[in-house]
Amino acid sequence: MEFIPTKIKGLTLIKPTVFGDNRGYFLEAYNTEKFKQHIGDINFIQVNESKSSYGVLRGLHFQKPPYTQAKLVRCIEGKVLDVALDLRQDSPTYGQHQCFELSGDNKHQLFVPHGFAHGFVVLSETAIFSYMVDNQYAPDYDSGIAWDDKSLNIDWQLPVEDIILSEKDKKLLALNQTDNPF
């Protein structure tokens, strides 16, 4: 398992070692000791999974304190463009984002620490997406940033007319209009 720091401190790309043969493959998706060594002591308490079709965009989501969430995300099947946005106001990369292609083929994972908004869009016909979180879902503390905030200039790699949003995500505001507790 390789832990690769990104240009945004704390955001870490993880490339698992994949052992494959004519039967299929095996990989270690999570190892507590390796996470402690490379990232720190994270206590994941829940694993979530979604299946979405082409063009579905989920995000950019975050939870406000005391229910902030660190996430370990991966695409099990299909392909997504995964986006993490730094909301930490004291960070030199505040307001910056990074995009990663996560897929069932490359098996990469992304660790998204506290203080980030997170989202993804499905680039394949369908995708199964999994994420581990270190805090419970708290609807009263749920928030997000508009996916199409012009100041962020995120290239979602799809035509706008192909984007499919939930009613909740359609109502999200730009970063400068959103209460940011970080």
Q: Please give the angle made by the CA atoms of 106, 84 and 163, to the nearest 5 degrees.
A: 80
Is 154 a member of any domain?
A: yes
- 61, 97, 108, 118: which one is catalytic? 61
Q: In the prediction, which pLDDT does 93 show?
A: 98
AA letter at 103 = S
Is 49 a member of any domain?
A: yes
Which residues are within 8 A (CB) of 113 and not within 5 positions of it... i.e. 6 or more apart? Answer: 10, 11, 70
Whether the pTM exceeds 0.85: the reply is yes
Q: In the prediction, which pLDDT does 60 show?
A: 98
Is 37 a member of any domain?
A: yes
Average pLDDT over residues 123-152: 97
Range of the domain at 142: 2-177
Q: In the prediction, which pLDDT does 58 show?
A: 98
Number of domains in the chain: 1
Q: In the prediction, which pLDDT does 32 show?
A: 95
Mean pLDDT of the chain: 97
Q: How buried is residue 166: exposed, middle or buried, by Cβ count under 10 Å (0-12/13-18/19+)? A: exposed
Q: CATH code at 120?
A: 2.60.120.10
Average pLDDT over residues 148-154: 97
The yes-or-no answer on residue 131 being catalytic is yes
Residue with tokens 């799809």: 158
Residue pLDDT, tens place only, 38-65: 999 999 999 999 999 999 999 999 999 9
Q: In the prediction, which pLDDT does 159 show?
A: 98
Q: In the prediction, which pLDDT does 87 show?
A: 98
What pairs with residue 12 in β-bridges? 5, 111
Is 143 a member of any domain?
A: yes
Is 182 a member of any domain?
A: no
Q: Quick one: pLDDT band at residue 8, thresholds 50, 70, 90? A: very high
- 94, 97, 131, 137: which one is catalytic? 131
Q: Quick one: pLDDT band at residue 154, thresholds 50, 70, 90? A: very high
Residue pLDDT, tens place only, 96-107: 999 999 999 999
pLDDT over 90, % of the chain: 99
Q: What is the DSSP string of 69-135?
A: --EEEEEEESEEEEEEEE--TTSTTTT-EEEEEEETTT--EEEE-TTEEEEEEE-SSEEEEEEEESS
